[in-house]
Structure formats: C-alpha cells, structure tokens
C-alpha cells in the first residue's frame, strides 16, 4: 500500500528525523520514496513539518496535501493539519501536548501521551519514535526489519549507542 504522510511539530522534536526513518524504511523495501521538509518562516518558532511518500510507483508530487497518515506533535500542527487528513486516514497525536480531540468521525485518531511516556520510561526526547511506533502499528508502512535497518542507517556511526533507545521507543509505541 502507498503511504502519504505528514509529520509535524515544533523544531527539535524530531519530526524531520522520524520522517527520514519512514523514508529509509520504504527504501529498504525497494519502494519509491520522497521526503520534503517545510523550510519556510514557519520553521522559526511555529511548526516544522515534512511530507513523506512511500509508493510502488514513481512519486509525482512529493508535497502531501491530504495525508493518509498524520503525526502531530504539538497544538499548532494538530490545528493546521487535522482537517487535511484524507477520509479513512489515521492521525497519531501527542496528547501530552495537544489537549484537543477531533470531532471528525471519518478518520481514526490515536491519542498517545508520548512526551509524558518518554520521560517516564527513561526515553527522554524520543516521543517522536513512540508516535512513529504507534503509526507503524496502525498503518504497517514497513516491516519491523526495514524500520530497524532504517534506524541504524539514520543514526551516524559516532552515535550508534542511540540506536537501541530509539528502537525501544518505537517498540513501546507499537505496544500501545
């Protein structure tokens, strides 16, 4: 199945990194992939976001306007994108930072207190990976093997000790 994803949050929460892992996981399964970050003034203090496409076919527009998967890590991102989610799509929301609930009944919205959970479980700063895990469990955008390889690829050689906590956080997200 093809995936058209928007990941959004504050700068520093790791939405671009989480998007890169998705893209690499798709690449590991020989899919066509694209990753397009926002680079406008909204990066400065508002929402950082990226569009990720995974597809069997060549990717046309890398800009995702109607995501079938949204990962929203803060309120401005949630407000900006929740109505754009395609009918039948899935939204994974960090409910530690977003106190709203959508009234939409045509999408599946998963509220995961990722930031609070990350702090509690000794995975500080890995709320992005917890949400990615939940998204993986919901959409099966790639196999576990592909995601594992992607994490190892995305973490630079000097920081490989961070691979394990990242993978743990993804697993935690999958179990929720």
Partner 1 sequence: MDSKQKVLMKGNEALAEAAIQAGCHHFFGYPITPQTEVAAYMAKRLPKIGGTYLQAESEVAAINMVYGAAAAGVRAMTSSSSPGISLKSEGISYMAASDLPCLIVNVQRGSPGLGGIQPSQADYWQATRAPGHGDLHILVFAPASIQEMVDMVFKAFELADTYRMPAMIFADGMLGQMMEPVVFPEKEVKQFDKFSWATCGHQGKRKHNIVNSLILQPDELERLVVERFKRYEVVKANHTECEEYLLDDAEYVIVAYGATSRIAKSAINAARDKGIKVGLIRPKTLWPYPSGVVAKAAEHAKAFMSVEMSMGQMVDDVRLAVNGKVPVYFFGHTGGIVPTPFEVLEQIEKMAGGAL
SS3 for 151? helix
Q: How far is CA 154 from the centre of its chain?
A: 14
CB 19 within 8 A of CB 54: no
Q: Name the minimum Å distance from CB 132 to partner 1.
A: 16
Q: How far is CA 112 from the centre of its chain?
A: 13
Could you list the residues that contact partner 1 (CB under 8 A)? 20, 23-24, 27-30, 32-37, 39-40, 58-63, 65
- Pick the closest to residue 140 from 132, 149, 151 (CA basis): 132
Q: Which is nearer to partner 1, 46 or 96 (CB)?
A: 46
Q: Which is nearer to partner 1, 26 or 133 (CB)?
A: 26
Q: Which is nearer to partner 1, 63 or 143 (CB)?
A: 63
Q: Name the minimum Å distance from CB 19 to partner 1.
A: 9
Q: Name the minimum Å distance from CB 171 to partner 1.
A: 23
Cα(132)–Cα(138) distance, integer angstroms: 10
């Amino acid at each position: 199945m093809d995936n058209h994803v928007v990941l959004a949050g504050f700068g520093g929460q790791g939405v671009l990194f989480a998007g890169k892992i998705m893209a690499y996981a798709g690449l590991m399964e020989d899919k066509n992939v694209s990753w397009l970050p926002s680079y406008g003034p909204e990066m400065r203090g508002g929402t950082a976001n990226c569009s990720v496409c995974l597809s069997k076919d060549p990717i046309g527009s890398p800009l995702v306007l109607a995501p079938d998967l949204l990962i929203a890590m803060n309120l401005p991102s949630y407000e900006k994108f929740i109505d754009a989610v395609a009918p039948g799509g899935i939204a994974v929301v960090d409910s530690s930072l977003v106190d709203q609930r959508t009234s939409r009944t045509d999408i599946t919205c998963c509220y995961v207190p990722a930031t609070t959970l990350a702090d509690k479980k000794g995975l500080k700063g890995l709320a992005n990976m917890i949400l990615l895990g939940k998204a993986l469990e919901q959409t099966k955008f790639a196999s576990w093997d592909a995601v594992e390889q992607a994490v190892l690829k995305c973490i630079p050689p000097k920081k490989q000790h961070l691979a394990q906590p990242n993978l743990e956080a993804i697993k935690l997200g999958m179990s929720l």
